[in-house]
Amino acid sequence: MVKKRKRTVRKAVKPAKARVKKAAKSAKIKPVKAAELKLEKIGEVTHYFPRVKAAAVKLIKSGMTVGDNIYIKGHTTDFKEKVRSMQLDHVPIDKGRKAQEIGLLVKSRVRIGDSIYKV
């Protein structure tokens, strides 16, 4: 009696790019903590307008200009963005100063009391 050998089937190996993409998707991204970055708090959200995705921001410490990178952190909010547009009394401005309450265009929902840091 002759024994038959078991036939092994090799699986196709995925290219390196596909493996890297899959690993990146499965990796969990941890939110950045403000204390870790040692950021300077420059303002606080006082109101949010959902239809136009704008936030009313009270500037506390220093000014903010169009083009600055900011970090918005709150209880459920945690994102970075570049300042694209600011307004003061419905007039576009390039620079906001201390103690002004400005309108700021944001990319995501923010809530009253969220802190704004300059990166």
Please, what sign has the CA dihedral across residues 32, 34, 38, 42?
A: positive
| Residue 107, number of CB atoms within 10 A of its CB | 12
Inter-residue contact 85 to 92 (CB < 8 Å): yes
pLDDT at 37: 62
Query: Which tokens hold the place of 58?
Result: 């009270």
Q: What pLDDT score was predicted for residue 49? A: 96
CATH numbers and ranges of domains, the chain: 34-118 (2.40.30.10)
Q: Is the pTM of this model over 0.95?
A: no
The residues of the chain scoring below 70 in pLDDT are 1, 9-37
Per-residue confidence (pLDDT) for residue 5, from 0 to 100: 72
* Residues 71-92 pLDDT 10s: 999 999 999 999 999 999 999 9
Instruction: Please tell me the distance from the alpha carbon of residue 66 to that of residue 83, in angstroms, as a whole number.
Output: 5
